[in-house]
Structure 1
C-alpha cells in the first residue's frame, strides 16, 4: 500500500509549547545568575578588610581628642573598602588625633577626618595686621540691635557727653573733630562725636566673658539633632546674649576711643552698618539665625 504523501498534513508547532520552552530557558538563566550572585556574595563576606570605626555611643564632636575607648576594629567587605579608610593595623595612630568633623557612632573613620593638632580658638587674633589692635567695650544688646548684631558685622560708634561751654567753635573735647555735633537738651549742653566711623566686630562676650564666636563654632560641631536640642535650651539662649564687644581697629582708632573710655557722663551709641562690606558669622549659618531669633523672642516673652 502506497502512502499518499499529499494526504499528510503539515503539523504546525504549538504556540503554548514555545512559551513553555522560553519560560524554562529564562528560569534556568535566573537560577544560574542568582547562584553566581549568591555564591559571590558569600565569598565576599569571607573576604573582608579590618578598619577603624567610632565606638563612642555619643559619637565624636568636631575637634575632639580621640581616646582608646572611642574607637574599635570593624570588618568591611573588601568590595566596600576604600583606600581612604584607616586600617585596623593603624588604630594606635588614631588615638591622640583630633577630629576635623563630627563623627557619628559606628561610622568608619577616614584619613581626612583626623588632624594632629587641635584647631586654634579665636583664630582671628592670628590674622590681625601689625598695626591693628583689639579692644573690648561694654554693650547693651537691648539698645543696640539686639540679637541682630553678630561677629563680623561692622558698626559706627558715637560718644555723647556733656560740656560746660562751647570752646573754639567746632573744636571737640580733645581737638578738632569734623564729626562733632553740639546741641542743648533741657539747658544742658551736649556734644556727640564719632569715635569709630566703621569698625569690625571680631567677637562678642557674654555675661561670663566667654566668646560667643566660639560658642557658635561649638554648635557647628554637633550633629543636627543634638544641635537643635542644645539651641532650644535656656542655657544656650543665655550664653549668646552679648554684654561686650571685641573690636579690631588701627592704632589711631583705638587712641581715639581711649579719649572717651573714662567719661563718667559719656554714653556710646552703636549703629550697625551694611553687611555688603562685612562678613558676619551668621552668613555661614543662615538657618541658625532664624532659629536663634525665634527662640530668643519666645524666651523673652
Structure 2
C-alpha cells in the first residue's frame, strides 16, 4: 500500500477558532450556572422585615396603623441593622412617621418616632427675644395664592399726617410726604412664618393634614371648594424683634393707616412649596384642569 499519496492533516486556524469558541461557551455556561445556583440559594436565605403597604405612601407625622404596613422577605445579604424586623411589628403600631415615606419602602428605625408631633412646631423654635405678630392680609390685593409660609415680604405703611390729607395716596411712593399722607418702610424684609385662613386656622397645618390622607382621598379633597377656601390667607404671622414689633405698634395707632405688602425673591427664602413638592405639583395640576373647563 502506497502511503505517499495520503496527505498529512494538521489543524488549521479556522479549526482552532471554533475550538476556542466552544470552550469559551462551555465556560460561560458553567459560570452562569454557578451564579444562578448561588442566587437561588441566596433568595431562599431571607429575613422578614416591615415595609409600607399603602397607596401614596405614609404621610409625614402620621400615626402608623397595621393595615398600612406589611411583612416582606428580604434577601439576607441586603439586610442592615437599621431596618425594622417583622417581629418588631407591635413596637411600630401607633408610632409616628418623621417624614413622608414612599409606598413599598422598607421601614427603618430612624423613620419612626414615639413622640407626638407638635402642631405649629415653628412656634417652639422662636427665640426668647423674638415675637410673633398677626397682620390682616387681603390676598386679592397682594399676590393672591402665590404667597406661601416661608416667603419673605416687604411691608410699607402709609398714614395720615397731622391735619389730614388725601386718604388715597399711593403707598408705593418713596418715603416722603405726599400731600398730607406719609409712606415709610415698616419692615424691609421679614419672613412669613405662617398664615391664617378665614377660620383663623394655620394654612401650613392645612397642607400638613392633607398630606396625611391616602392618595385617592387627597386628590378628592384638593379638588374641593372647601380646600381652596382653607388655603386663602386672611392674616400673616410674622416673626420680628421687640424693636420691630414696637415700631409696628406705633404706626398701627395712626389715622388712615394702610399697609402695602410686596413679595421678595425666593432665592433666599424657604417657602412651604419647596418643603412639600408633591403637594405643589398636585395643586398646579388641579389648577390647570380647572382652568381648561
Fold similarity call, TM over 0.5: yes
Shift of 1:38: 3.3
**Aligned residue runs from structure 1 range 4-15, under 5 A:** 7-13=5-11
Shift of 1:127: 2.7
In 2, the alpha carbon distance for the partners of 1:67 and 1:221 equals: 13
- 1:102 touches 1:223 (CA, 8 Å); kept in 2? no
**Aligned residue runs from structure 1 range 1-301, under 5 A:** 7-13=5-11, 21-22=19-20, 24-57=22-55, 59-152=57-150, 153-161=152-160, 163-164=162-163, 181=177, 183=179, 189-217=180-208, 234-261=225-252, 265-275=256-266, 278-282=269-273, 284=275
- 1:158 touches 1:193 (CA, 8 Å); kept in 2? yes
In 2, the alpha carbon distance for the partners of 1:181 and 1:98 equals: 56
- 2:53 touches 2:69 (CA, 8 Å); kept in 1? yes
**What is aligned with 1:173?**
none
Residue 148 of structure 1 aligns to a residue whose secondary structure is coil
Higher mean alpha-carbon deviation, 280-289 vs 115-124, is at 280-289
Shift of 1:139: 0.7
- 2:61 touches 2:117 (CA, 8 Å); kept in 1? yes
- 1:203 touches 1:211 (CA, 8 Å); kept in 2? yes
Shift of 1:277: 5.7
- 2:56 touches 2:214 (CA, 8 Å); kept in 1? no
Residue 147 of structure 1 aligns to a residue whose secondary structure is coil
Structure 2: gaps (5+ residues)? 166-174
- 1:52 touches 1:71 (CA, 8 Å); kept in 2? yes
In 1, the alpha carbon distance for the partners of 2:54 and 2:136 equals: 42
- 1:181 touches 1:193 (CA, 8 Å); kept in 2? no
* Equivalent residue pairs, number: 283
Residue 43 of structure 1 aligns to a residue whose secondary structure is helix
Shift of 1:31: 3.8
- 1:155 touches 1:201 (CA, 8 Å); kept in 2? no
Shift of 1:53: 1.8
In 2, the alpha carbon distance for the partners of 1:61 and 1:180 equals: 51
In 2, the alpha carbon distance for the partners of 1:22 and 1:226 equals: 64
Shift of 1:219: 6.2
- 1:100 touches 1:114 (CA, 8 Å); kept in 2? yes
Cα RMSD (Å) of the superposition?
A: 4.0
TM-score, normalising length: structure 2 = 0.74
Residue 32 of structure 1 aligns to a residue whose secondary structure is helix
- 1:85 touches 1:108 (CA, 8 Å); kept in 2? yes
Encode CA deviations 1:200-230: one digit per residue, 9 max, x unaligned.
Answer: 3221112222222334455677899987776
Encode CA deviations 1:171-224: one digit per residue, 9 max, x unaligned.
Answer: xxxxxxxx66352xxxxx545455444433221112222222334455677899
